[in-house]
Structure 1
């Protein structure tokens, strides 16, 4: 069976599971089409025509598929805890066991754990929210489906158990706002000022339009500037962090090697540095004054 045939059969298999698929550039994790979430499909004929025309890897749009996928990554430095260990620790803290569920191994040695969402529940992607080395993909996100291959290896089906319902404790943990500690933060901000909210939107727009080759620079600078507002008590850090990471989703899907854990690391470092140089805004003119 040719590479085209194998990938087509995997794409059709995913569609038969009720999962919406779309093509990725061959041998990469990058979408081969624009508006991939809206154009993802379970239609047999569309899938057949697409994969007959090229050996595309398979993107699985988690939102339309009503899935949440836990992406448990491997460690990069000795002594760190990997995603699978962190997830097991979270379960142990709550005195529960993780259910067996559909599991795919990744070329880097990580694992994708598939869960179904309760009716009416829609979750967003997260990066490091549950724990370091654990990201999630749901509404607005995608994972590389089994059968796909990268130069360093393939996405292999490890456990074909039907996806388990997302455990209630995991749903609760994903809905909790992350807590942060800081020696300079003045505490949560219930409602940011118009200036601070506008500044955050502007920095997020800068991130989304970051030119190739400057992703890390633009993201780090934006996080630093936002961190200054957090340090000045003008923005809630958890909210700002979430907005910055969501804006950086476009960097993750670009052909630059950016990963969700790296994005989270850069954002956290920029925010922490910015907090040490807090910024305030005069209430009358709205002009910026360094604290």
Structure 2
């Protein structure tokens, strides 16, 4: 257990550093899987939940840039030895190009489709492969794929995650390639993006999309906040509500719940407004 704690401390430090740069993170176990188990694992047939219940353990849906929330996730998973970075999320809309070995297949793809591979953040994996970090436009939804573009090229997009540099897994450590630590993720070349992202589907005019109706868990999450975590929990819940299309619907109930825990109403309203601004601004980035 002591060795786990010694490994978890740098994992948390690396995760906090990534979060400070705008990369949403979650703790990972040595197997590279999310470290926190689903809170619904003992409830067969439970409806799909993406974190609206207010509990951690929803994999990539737990990913956050908030430092207090990151610390809380790692505190709940002291066995974590690494961290995952959510792809497709604002503000970077990260796209991961996962190469099994040397990038020969990617260079061949670039030559055939007439694009240049940009200099960008590159992470070396324990197996001898590498991850290239690219950014995409907010309106492009890049799906995950395995060897669809070419053998040995996997793509991490919306709903996927990359193992962050500094993580330690059962097979070894992930580290930044020389010459790339200070590079920002480069924009995905348009020709490559056309290969990765299907055409955007537009909803017919006059047909609104349905927002999820499960917000009770977020309210319970705020009500259960201990002293010292009231504002953090409210901010986290408000961000999840906005992301799920429930921002306006739940704002009043979340403020009421926060006030019941002892948070002053003006502070609660300011926190809700801050969460809404952050979420809306991230979607426009």
TM range (shorter): 0.5 to 0.7
Cα pair distance change 1:170/1:95, threshold 3 Å:
closer
Runs of 5+ in structure 1 lacking a partner? Answer: 75-81, 178-291
Q: Does 1:71 align with 2:98?
A: yes
Q: Distance in 1 between matches of 2:196 and 2:173?
A: 29
Q: CA deviation at 1:174?
A: 1.8
The 8 Å contact of residues 115 and 189 in structure 2, kept in 1 or not, is answered as: no
TM-score (norm 2): 0.55
Q: Does 1:59 align with 2:81?
A: no
Q: Does 1:28 align with 2:31?
A: yes
TM-score (norm 1): 0.54
Q: Does 1:100 align with 2:119?
A: yes
What is the aligned partner in structure 2 of residue 162 from structure 1? 184
Cα pair distance change 1:150/1:86, threshold 3 Å:
same
Q: Distance in 1 between matches of 2:33 and 2:168?
A: 12
Greater Cα shift, 109-118 or 27-36:
27-36
State how many pairs are aligned: 168
Q: CA RMSD in A?
A: 2.0
What is the aligned partner in structure 1 of residue 72 from structure 2? 49
What is the aligned partner in structure 2 of residue 111 from structure 1? 130
The 8 Å contact of residues 146 and 154 in structure 2, kept in 1 or not, is answered as: yes
Q: Distance in 1 between matches of 2:198 and 2:9?
A: 43
Q: Does 1:3 align with 2:22?
A: no
Q: Does 1:128 align with 2:147?
A: yes
Q: Distance in 2 between matches of 1:50 and 1:37?
A: 12
The 8 Å contact of residues 7 and 168 in structure 2, kept in 1 or not, is answered as: no
**Structure that is richer in strand per residue:** 1
What is the aligned partner in structure 2 of residue 143 from structure 1? 162
Cα pair distance change 1:3/1:32, threshold 3 Å:
closer
Q: CA deviation at 1:3?
A: 2.4
The 8 Å contact of residues 10 and 147 in structure 1, kept in 2 or not, is answered as: yes
Greater Cα shift, 32-41 or 8-17:
32-41
Which string of whole-angstrom CA distances, capped at 9 and with x for unpartnered residues, describes residues 215-248 of structure 1?
xxxxxxxxxxxxxxxxxxxxxxxxxxxxxxxxxx
Q: Distance in 1 between matches of 2:186 and 2:161?
A: 18
